[in-house]
Amino acid sequence: MAKATTERVAVWLTPDQVAWLKTRENVSVTLRALVNEAMNMQRLADSLKRKEARKAGGAAKAAAPAKSAKSPPSVKVKKAKVLDRRRK
């Protein structure tokens, strides 16, 4: 037997909401579309909150006092002798 991709859910609605739904051509499609739209709006709101949190976190890091920047210790590099391979 195939697994159902949808599930029946009971919802309590006000008389005005029921009257509005009955004016629609297909109640199931209308409700699914409304739920999808609400889910998309929630995802958008969550995304904007995360974006604001990242901005606030970046600003807080930039506003934090900088550690004293010490110059790195000088490194002495020995120059390697270049061998001229033409002379032998």
How many domains does one find in the chain?
1
Decide if 55 is inside a domain. yes
Distance separating the N- and C-terminal Cα atoms of the chain: 87
Domain of residue 46, residue span? 15-63
pLDDT number for residue 68: 53
Residue 34 is assigned to a structural domain of this protein: yes
Residue 38 lies in a domain: yes
pLDDT for res 57: 79
- Alpha-carbon gap, residue 21 to 80, rounded angstroms: 85
**Alpha-carbon distance 41 to 55, whole Å?**
21
Cβ pair 53, 61 in contact under 8 A: no
- The tens-digit pLDDT sequence of the chain (88 residues) is 667 788 888 989 999 999 999 999 999 999 999 999 999 999 999 999 999 988 887 765 555 555 555 555 555 555 555 555 555 5
Quick check: is 9 in a domain? no
